[in-house]
Structure 1
Amino acid sequence: MPFPILRTPFIVLSEIISLLEPNEIVTASFCSKNVQRLLERHYQRRKPVEWRLVMQDYDSRGRVKIRTSEGGKGITVMSVRPISELSEELQAKAKRNGYMLMFNTQFVTAYMENQMMTAKSVVNTIRQLFNLDVFAVVMDTNGTWAIDWINNRQEMILGGIEFYRNPKDHSNADETVDYVLRNARFSLYCNIDGNVSDNFKFNGKLGPMRQLWIKSNGHWVTCDNLMNFDSITILIEGSRLSVSDLNSFLRHWRAGASARLEYLRLIFEEHTFIERFDEELEVVKTDEKKIFRRSSDEWEWKFQGGYSIQRLDGVKAMIQCGPRWLLMGVCH
């Protein structure tokens, strides 16, 4: 005889729901409209404040994940795939119904012809179920539609964005990266891995945020860009900044600008970096051993020797250099 679970007192059901993983909850919501309403009512009363909703539209595939802790990879709760991946028989059925849902042991997959419309529908479903705004977006060239769509649908700005090059599409890379940098609003992090050309330039500002990471192809970052990045941590790979550029940035920092910066890491593209600082900067070679601890998340880096520089307000920083890299950590 089946157990009448929906007749169980709501307070008991809420305790049971609290034991489930996010993907299990989403799968259960498709059992019936009554179960869906029950789950929505639970999360309206007990909003999971530590959970983060992340949407992904990358390489012609979409996913919605829930991060249950800060820094966690996230649990896939639903995915979006093109109908073309189905067999001819299932494609015909999906087209008649407008969509097709398939269940596996981990999450639900939605198949539809229009990737964007499906992704929007799936994200709306998960948002309503868990009573959560979208926290972060992972996208490529074809997923930038999500920026305006989210900005127009929720008051809370994104926590972060991750933009990656599309392995199948290299067109309009410069325009796309420029659009993302100018239009995405975020508070915590921005990871960019765009396949931009040698002529790409960006003349805007970014931040404030916790972390900016330009993954490879960071050749476009100029000294002016670096000065206009308002971030606690800045990591740039593929940099073409010169010794002169870095001395200019250090003068800018020493005067009290870029005050939120705590950690800077530059990986140079090809040329050998020469440790040559302008005398007016009063950079001092040192054998000091200091532990840099980032305020935002307590991440640590051990500086063993290198150089010391002092800001005009007395704040000090350690600098370490190699043939193709530079690290700078501010000692609060």
Structure 2
Amino acid sequence: MFPLLLLDPVSCENVLNQLNPYELLKFSLCSKISNLLARNVAVKVNDSFSLDIHLDESYSIGIQYETSHVFEYFSCRSNTIHNMLGDSSIVSKSVEHGKLNGNGPSMFHTSDEKNVETYWEDEVVGFKLLIEYVMNLYDKPIDILYFHKTDSLKSIEILRWINTRQGSIRFGHVDLCHVNSDHTLSRILDQIKNINELDLVMFPGSEFIKNDTRRYEFEELTITNGYWVTLPRLVDMNCHILNVSGTELTNYDVNSFLKMWINGELDKLKLMTLNILEVDILKIMEGIQYLKKRNYSGES
């Protein structure tokens, strides 16, 4: 038994309060009792850190936290057990009934670089268990999603599972440039509808541009390489804040859009930034009443 566990509850908690989130994670992996103690402490300080997940060439969940006014970060990554290196510092743990600290086999490896490597027969199943463990430990939802150059089908499964665990994700940077299938692209877009602030990059093909009729409704939506954003699709982007660059929209398109906005067809939209090929302010404002103002900046 750890000497720490021989202390009275108040003294034990005072000691654990000195640990940062990374140290709490390592302590929680020691036993079921240590996991319970770590959770009790983490819940009281979880306002000072956030969780993010990375779906890219590997799958990881990261924790950012602040200590002495300095932001620190560590991540826990899921790997297949077949990729495990012969490392004597890797510790075998068991995982039971779908929960870490009791069911297995899985493998854990921690390093001085504040990274935790986990190894599973199925890395997707393992990553789900890893996410669940970290979320339960810190009593925090996923705050940020990074999606880039990943196995699309596996990531769709992970996203669908996350969406059953929490109602929304605060921010997402989603790069779909590697997705060549319109069907797969549509499936991924279906799984990121619950992101509040979405930064989206994609290169859809002509068939997707012609046939896709989805509504893009977010608190804030930022699109780069927006060549695929036609006028009908722009009207379907009923967001509070909308930023679109790289479009092929015309002055006539923008004029039509502004008239629809003024007539209340986009009830959510409050602020918009739109980049178009050429700007002719007279054509854009044709038929619209407006007040001409000049703003000056800099020293007089």
Structure 1 residues 200-226: Cα deviation after superposition (integer angstroms, max 9, x where no partner): 2331223241x211232x222222332
Aligned to 2:287, the other structure's residue is in SS state helix
| Aligned mates of 1:8, 1:260 — CA distance in 2 | 56
The correspondence for 2:199, drawn from 181, 191, 200, is: 191
The correspondence for 1:240, drawn from 244, 248, 259, is: 248
| Aligned mates of 2:229, 2:27 — CA distance in 1 | 47
Match of 1:295 in 2: none
C-alpha displacement of 1:109:
0.9
Task: Say yes or no: does 1:62 pair with 2:73.
Answer: no
| Aligned mates of 1:48, 1:99 — CA distance in 2 | 27
| Aligned mates of 1:137, 1:74 — CA distance in 2 | 18
| Aligned mates of 2:122, 2:60 — CA distance in 1 | 15
The 5 Å alignment of 1:61-210 reads 61-68=58-65, 75-83=73-81, 85-87=83-85, 98-105=105-112, 106-140=114-148, 141=152, 142-154=154-166, 156-165=167-176, 170-172=179-181, 174-186=182-194, 188-201=196-209, 202-209=212-219
Query: Structure 1 length normalisation: TM-score?
Result: 0.70
C-alpha displacement of 1:281:
0.9
Match of 1:280 in 2: 287
C-alpha displacement of 1:47:
6.5
C-alpha displacement of 1:19:
3.9
| Aligned mates of 2:15, 2:87 — CA distance in 1 | 39
Aligned to 2:239, the other structure's residue is in SS state strand
* Counterpart contact for 1:138–1:163, Cα < 8 Å: yes
Amino acid corresponding to residue 156 of structure 2 in structure 1:
T
Match of 1:313 in 2: none
State the identity as a percent.
18
Aligned to 1:126, the other structure's residue is in SS state helix
Amino acid corresponding to residue 163 of structure 2 in structure 1:
N
Structure 1 residues 60-107: Cα deviation after superposition (integer angstroms, max 9, x where no partner): x111123448xx9972341223445444788xx98xx74321110212
The 5 Å alignment of 1:12-51 reads 12-43=11-42, 46=44, 48-49=46-47, 51=49
Structure 1 residues 156-200: Cα deviation after superposition (integer angstroms, max 9, x where no partner): 33333332236xx5432x323322333434252112222322432
* Counterpart contact for 2:172–2:199, Cα < 8 Å: yes
Between structures 1 and 2, the one with greater strand share: 1
Segments of 5+ residues of structure 2 without an aligned counterpart are 93-103
* Counterpart contact for 1:47–1:131, Cα < 8 Å: no
Query: Structure 2 length normalisation: TM-score?
Result: 0.76
Amino acid corresponding to residue 279 of structure 1 in structure 2:
E
Amino acid corresponding to residue 243 of structure 1 in structure 2:
N
Structure 1 residues 101-128: Cα deviation after superposition (integer angstroms, max 9, x where no partner): 1110212111234221121111011112
Aligned to 1:199, the other structure's residue is in SS state helix
| Aligned mates of 1:38, 1:77 — CA distance in 2 | 21
C-alpha displacement of 1:39:
0.8
| Aligned mates of 1:230, 1:16 — CA distance in 2 | 50
Match of 2:4 in 1: 5
| Aligned mates of 2:243, 2:169 — CA distance in 1 | 20
| Aligned mates of 1:186, 1:49 — CA distance in 2 | 22
* Counterpart contact for 2:168–2:194, Cα < 8 Å: yes
